[in-house]
C-alpha cells in the first residue's frame, strides 16, 4: 500500500507524494498528515504485535517500530535508526488519584524514553524520513526536549543536528543533552514562536530538513504512545487521556492514533482527550473555552516555569482542536502553584516528572473539581518528561525559593528541606527519632 501526504484542511484535502519535502500544503497553507493505515484483521495484528515483544530484532524491540503496520509511510525499514524508544510503563498511582479525586489513575510515563521524553517516539520516524529523503542536516527549534531527542537520533544516524533554542529559557539538563549528543547549538535571543518562524525560512533556504512537530512523520511516531498504551491495557480504552499542551503536536498525534485505532477495529470507542496548559501560555484553552469557533489568538509573551510548554502560538492547533472536539474532550489552564504542588505529589508516588508533565495532574484535579471528569473515571495521564530534566526547579521548590515568572513566591506546600547536621551521632539520632515517619 502506498501512503500519501494529505492536507488536513477539510476544505482542501490536497494530496501529495509521501516523499515530497513539504511541511504545509502548498495550495492552502494547511497542516499536512500521513494517510491512515489499512489494517484488515485487527485480531491478528494484535497477536503479531504482542509476539514481537519477545523478539530480539531491533525493530521489534522498539516501542514505535513494533507497531510499524500502523505507521504506513515507509516501505523499506533497513535504514531505520532505533534507540529502543517507547516501551514506557503504565504506572499505578493511587496517591495521585486521591490528590486528584479520581477513581483510577495510571501514568503513562514517557520520561522512560532513551533521551527522557516522548519526543523520541516521533524522532525515530522523523529521522527515518530524513534518511529516506537523503537529507544530510536536520534542524528544529525547541524548548529543550525536541532538541535533545533530535540531537541523539540525528547523531546516531550520521546526520548533522542543528538546534535553535530560546536563550536562557531552557533547562540545563536539556541543553546539556544537546551538547553531549553533538548538536550544533544556537541560542537565539527570541522566544519559541519567533524562532520557529525564523527556522522555517532558514530550513527552506539551506535545504535542511525540519524536524519540529509540524513535520507529519514526527506525529506518526508519537501515535504509538497511544497504541502501546492500548496494547498494555489489552485494548480496553480508558475514559480519559490527560496530557499537557504546548505546540500541540502530541494532542494531534494522540487524537489521530485513537481515531485510526477505532476505524481499524483495534478499540471499540474513543477515550476523551483533556489538554492542560499553563496559565501564562494557554491560547488553546482560551479557544476551546470560547466554543472552538474562529482562529487561535496567540499569546504574545508566553510565561511559565514549565518551560517545555512555554509556547504562545502553537502550530498544530487546528489538528488539536479537531481531536479535542471529536473525542468530546476538555481543556484546563493551571497556575504555577498548582503545577508545582502536583509535581511534588507525583514525586511522592515514587514516580517523578518534569514540570510540564505535572500540569496533567494539576489539570485533572481541576477538571474533577469542576465536575467535567466524573469521580469514578478511569484516567490515563501522560507524563511527558523525566524528573531529571529540570533539577534546578525541584531544588528551589523544596527549599522555598521558587518564584513565578512575575516574581511571586511559590509555596513549598509539600516541600522537603535537606537538613544540615553536625558530625555528631547523638544529635543525628535525636533528629531522626523526632522526625520518624
Ligand atoms: N511536555 C514536555 C516535557 C515537552 O517537552 C513538550 C513540548 C510538551 C509537553 C508539549 O507537547 O508541544 O506536543 O503540545 N516540547 C517541545 C520541545 C515544544 O521543543 O521540546 P506538544
pTM over 0.95: yes
Which of 88, 122, 140, 145 maximizes ligand 1 atoms within 8 Å of its Cβ, making it the mutation to test the pocket? Answer: 145
pLDDT at 168: 85
Looking at the CA of residue 253, tell me the nearest atom of ligand 1.
13
pLDDT at 1: 53
Closest Cα to atom 19 of ligand 1: 142
Residues in contact with ligand 1 by the CB-under-6-Å rule are 117, 119, 142-146, 213, 244-251, 308-309, 354, 356-357, 384-385
The span from the CA of 427 to the CA of 299, in Å, is 54
Looking at the CA of residue 389, tell me the nearest atom of ligand 1.
3
Query: Is residue 417 helix, strand or coil?
Result: coil
The answer to whether 34 touches 57, Cβ cutoff 8 Å, is: no
The span from the CA of 332 to the CA of 347, in Å, is 22
The span from the CA of 373 to the CA of 27, in Å, is 40
Looking at the CA of residue 148, tell me the nearest atom of ligand 1.
20
Looking at the CA of residue 252, tell me the nearest atom of ligand 1.
13
Which of 185, 244, 246 maximizes ligand 1 atoms within 8 Å of its Cβ, making it the mutation to test the pocket? Answer: 246
371 CA → ligand 1 middle, Å: 27
Q: Which domains does the chain have, with CATH numbers?
A: 90-116+216-398 (3.40.50.1100)
CA triple 409-414-417, angle to 5 deg? 85
The answer to whether 292 touches 321, Cβ cutoff 8 Å, is: yes
Looking at the CA of residue 320, tell me the nearest atom of ligand 1.
14
The answer to whether 331 touches 276, Cβ cutoff 8 Å, is: yes
Low-confidence ranges of the chain (pLDDT < 50): none
Query: Is residue 325 helix, strand or coil?
Result: helix
305 CA → ligand 1 middle, Å: 13
197 CA → ligand 1 middle, Å: 17
Amino acid at each position: 500500500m502506498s501512503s500519501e501526504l494529505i492536507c488536513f484542511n477539510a476544505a482542501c484535502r490536497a494530496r501529495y507524494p509521501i516523499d515530497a519535502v513539504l511541511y504545509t500544503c502548498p495550495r492552502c497553507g494547511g497542516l499536512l498528515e500521513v494517510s491512515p493505515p489499512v489494517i484488515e484483521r485487527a485480531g491478528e495484528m494484535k497477536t503479531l504485535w504482542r509476539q514481537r515483544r519477545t523478539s530480539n530484532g531491533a525493530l521489534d524491540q522498539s516501542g514505535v517500530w513494533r507497531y510499524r503496520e500502523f505507521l504506513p509511510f515507509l516501505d523499506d525499514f533497513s535504514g531505520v535508526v532505533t534507540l529502543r524508544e517507547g516501551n514506557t510503563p503504565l504506572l499505578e498511582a493511587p496517591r495521585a488519584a486521591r490528590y486528584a479525586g479520581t477513581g483510577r489513575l495510571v501514568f503513562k510515563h514517557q520520561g522512560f524514553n532513551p533521551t527522557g521524553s516522548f519526543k523520541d517516539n516521533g524522532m525515530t520516524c522523523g529521522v527515518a524520513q530524513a534518511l529516506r529523503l537523503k537529507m544530510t542536516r536536520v534542524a528544529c527549534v525547541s524548548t529543550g526536549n525536541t532538541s535533545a531527542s533530535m540531537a541523539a537520533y540525528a547523531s546516531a544516524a550520521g546526520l548533522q543536528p542543528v538546534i535553535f533554542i530560546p536563550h536562557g529559557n531552557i533547562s540545563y539538563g536539556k541543553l546539556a543533552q544537546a551538547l553531549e549528543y553533538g548538536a550544533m547549538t544556537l541560542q537565539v535571543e527570541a522566544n519559541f514562536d519567533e524562532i520557529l518562524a525564523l527556522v522555517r525560512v532558514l530550513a527552506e533556504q539551506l535545504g535542511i530538513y525540519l524536524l519540529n512537530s509540524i513535520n507529519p512523520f514526527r506525529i506518526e511516531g508519537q501515535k504509538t504512545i497511544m497504541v502501546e498504551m492500548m496494547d498494555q491495557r489489552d485494548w480496553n480504552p480508558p475514559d480519559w487521556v490527560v496530557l499537557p499542551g504546548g505546540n500541540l503536536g502530541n494532542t494531534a498525534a494522540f487524537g489521530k492514533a485513537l481515531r485510526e485505532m477505532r476505524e481499524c477495529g483495534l478499540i471499540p470507542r474513543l477515550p476523551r482527550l483533556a489538554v492542560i496548559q499553563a496559565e501564562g501560555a494557554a491560547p488553546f484553552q482560551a479557544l476551546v473555552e470560547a466554543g472552538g469557533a474562529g482562529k487561535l489568538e496567540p499569546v504574545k509573551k508566553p510565561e511559565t516555569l514549565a518551560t517545555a510548554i512555554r509556547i504562545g502560538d502553537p502550530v498544530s492547533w487546528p489538528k488539536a482542536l479537531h481531536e479535542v472536539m471529536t473525542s468530546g474532550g476538555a481543556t484546563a489552564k493551571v497556575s504555577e502553584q498548582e503545577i508545582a504542588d502536583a509535581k511534588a505529589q507525583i514525586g511522592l508516588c515514587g514516580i517523578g516528572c518534569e514540570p510540564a508533565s505535572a500540569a496533567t495532574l494539576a489539570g485533572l484535579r481541576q477538571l474533577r473539581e469542576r465536575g467535567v471528569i466524573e469521580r469514578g473515571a478511569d484516567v490515563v495521564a501522560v507524563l511527558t518528561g523525566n524528573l531529571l530534566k529540570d533539577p534546578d526547579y525541584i531544588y528551589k521548590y523544596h527549599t522555598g525559593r521558587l518564584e513565578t515568572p512575575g516574581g511571586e513566591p511559590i509555596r513549598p506546600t509539600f516541600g522537603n528541606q535537606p537538613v544540615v547536621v553536625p558530625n555528631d551521632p547523638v544529635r543525628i539520632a535525636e533528629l531522626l527519632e523526632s522526625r520518624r515517619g
